[in-house]
Amino acid sequence: MNKILVTGGAGFIGSNFIHYLLERYDDCYITNVDLLTYAGNLDNLTNISDDPRYRFIKADIVDFVSISNLVSQGFDTIVNFAAESHVDRSIEAPGIFVRTNVLGTQSLLEAARRFGVKKFVQVSTDEVYGSLGQEGYFTETSPLNPTSPYSASKTAADHLVLAYGHTFGLSVNVTRCSNNYGTYQFPEKLIPLMITNALADKPLPVYGDGMNVRDWLHVRDHCCAVDLVMRQARTGEIYNIGGNNERTNIDIVKIILRRLNKPESLIMFVQDRPGHDRRYAIDSSKLRKDLGWEPKYSFDRGVIETIEWYCNNIKWWEKIKSGEYLRYYEQMYDNRKKAN
Ligand code: NAD
Ligand code: TDX
């Protein structure tokens, strides 16, 4: 299990996962393959770039020739984090989601099968189950019912992963996690967007009535779960990952404002996301029972630490928010304001 290919390791969760493994295991050798799209950021990995257990390779997971050449060097495990991950962008431009999330996963699976990779872990999402009403939880046997181009592409990838396990005997697992928060999250996502806007005294754009519910988990708890699955899960098993921490979006926004001592008048209700899923909530009892996983972070502690991290790393996010992202933000949110 010690030669690990991490895809998308320059993104939010992938970079946290690489830090987690290097801190925890002396004998693991990590290759990070990432295309460095707008969401990929090598600044997330600066303090380990000289670690002899780590190397970075820039490549596109869809490019089967490059991926085959790399995988032919011999890996015990592939953990696939690489994806287009933002629901709003999938509504603006669905094609790239199918390309990266579906074709990219298939290219990795094919290389894994040809070159005898021993374990393939697909990092998926609770969004494959669609939206819940006020009651109930997603279990691993809940029907798949994706509603956005993002979640539909992740669902297709899950099916391909399980099919490669079934048909070719590749040892595969799928993990389906709820919303993550923590360090290095790209500021297009709810929590870092609201923290960084509040710090700059800019409006905080809340979609619809702000009553949509997400089940928040600290990214380190997600990393711990993926590590357990990678090392211990039986082939073919799917694991839900979630922290039993349901919050409405408006509650999250108010927590952030209070902590930063900023006024609620910064909240701006804007046009809703088309097809916006109302509620996600995960039943992770299978993971707890089979692999002994428990989340270590309470939301209260995790969110305070996260807010502090963004306060202490202004250069990290200002660099992002002043570049290409600024154009995206103006276009996405000007349209929402006009339509409201
Ligand atoms: P992210 O957008 O922060 O990072 C994605 C990374 O993938 C980036 O570094 C990007 O450069 C890279 N990438 C994109 N296209 C690529 C390609 N064609 N080839 C190689 N690299 C490419 O995403 P994230 O939030 O870290 O999510 C990681 C994974 O976890 C995704 O698969 C996502 O679906 C899943 N997930 C995320 C959450 C969440 O709350 N963020 C929750 C559950 C599951
Ligand atoms: O400006 C905003 N205002 C707002 O009200 C943004 C960016 C979001 N929201 C709402 C939409 C959602 O109800 O906040 C909630 C969270 O939104 P996102 O941060 O965009 O996350 P979500 O759509 O829930 O998806 C996330 O969790 C599951 C990740 O982006 C996915 O990659 C993961 O699979």
Model confidence at 324, pLDDT cuts 50, 70, 90, reads confident
Model confidence at 334, pLDDT cuts 50, 70, 90, reads confident
The pLDDT of residue 330 is 87
Q: Could you please state the CATH topology (level 3) that the domain comprising 190-213+248-277+300-336 is classified under.
A: UDP-galactose 4-epimerase; domain 1 (3.90.25)
Q: Are 120 and 233 in contact (CB under 8 A)?
A: no
The pLDDT of residue 338 is 65
Nearest CA to ligand 2 atom 28: 179
CA 54 – CA 108 distance, rounded (Å): 20
Closest atom, ligand 2, to C-alpha of 190:
19
Determine the average pLDDT of the residues in 237-249: 97
Q: Are 325 and 88 in contact (CB under 8 A)?
A: no
Asked if the model's pLDDT at residue 1 lies above 80, the reply is no
Closest atom, ligand 2, to C-alpha of 191:
19
- Sequence-separated (6 or more) residues with CB below 8 Å from residue 96: 84
CA distance readout (Å), 67 to 15, 52, 111: 20, 22, 7
Q: Model confidence over 72-119: pLDDT tens digits?
A: 999 999 999 999 999 999 999 999 999 999 999 999 999 999 999 999
Q: Are 42 and 36 in contact (CB under 8 A)?
A: yes
Closest atom, ligand 1, to C-alpha of 37:
11
Model confidence at 326, pLDDT cuts 50, 70, 90, reads confident
CA 57 – CA 33 distance, rounded (Å): 5
CA distance readout (Å), 113 to 65, 161, 188, 229, 241: 14, 11, 35, 19, 26
Q: What ranges make up the beta strands (E) of the chain?
A: 3-7, 29-34, 54-58, 77-80, 119-125, 172-177, 180-181, 204-207, 213-215, 217-218, 238-241, 246-248, 267-270
Q: Are 59 and 36 in contact (CB under 8 A)?
A: no
DSSP 200-231: TT--EEEETTS--EEE-EEHHHHHHHHHHHHH
| Torsion angle in degrees (nearest 10) through CA of 319, 323, 329, 330 | 130
The pLDDT of residue 335 is 80
Give the pair of three-digit tokens for residue 137.
């939880």
Task: State which of 80, 179, 246 you would mutate to test the pocket of ligand 2, scoring each by most atoms of that ligand within 8 A of its C-beta.
Answer: 179
User: Which CATH code is given to the segment(s) 3-181+217-241?
Assistant: 3.40.50.720
The pLDDT of residue 245 is 96
Model's pTM, two decimal places?
A: 0.98
CA 210 – CA 272 distance, rounded (Å): 9
Name the phi and psi angles at 8, rounded to 5. Answer: 70, 30
The pLDDT of residue 18 is 98
Residue 205 alpha carbon to ligand 2 centre in Å: 12
Q: Model confidence over 117-164: pLDDT tens digits?
A: 999 999 999 999 999 999 999 999 999 999 999 999 999 999 999 999
The mean predicted confidence, pLDDT, of the chain is 96
Q: Model confidence over 187-202: pLDDT tens digits?
A: 999 999 999 999 999 9
Model confidence at 44, pLDDT cuts 50, 70, 90, reads very high
Model confidence at 339, pLDDT cuts 50, 70, 90, reads low
Give the pair of three-digit tokens for residue 193.
């967007």
- Sequence-separated (6 or more) residues with CB below 8 Å from residue 86: 39, 150, 186, 188, 189
Q: Which residues line ligand 2 (CB under 6 A)?
A: 85-87, 125, 127, 179, 189-190, 193, 205-207, 212, 214, 249, 273
Asked if the model's pLDDT at residue 340 lies above 70, the reply is no
CA 33 – CA 203 distance, rounded (Å): 36
Bridging pattern class, strands 246-248 and 180-181 = unpaired
Give the residue extent of every domain in the chain: 3-181+217-241, 190-213+248-277+300-336
CA 279 – CA 123 distance, rounded (Å): 21
Element (H, E) at 255: helix 249-259
Asked if the model's pLDDT at residue 48 lies above 90, the reply is yes
Model confidence at 323, pLDDT cuts 50, 70, 90, reads confident
| Three-class secondary structure of residue 339 per DSSP | helix
Determine the average pLDDT of the residues in 328-340: 80
Name the phi and psi angles at 241, rounded to 5. Answer: -130, 125
Nearest to 14 by CA among 70, 88, 76, 83: 83
Report percent pLDDT > 70 for the chain.
99
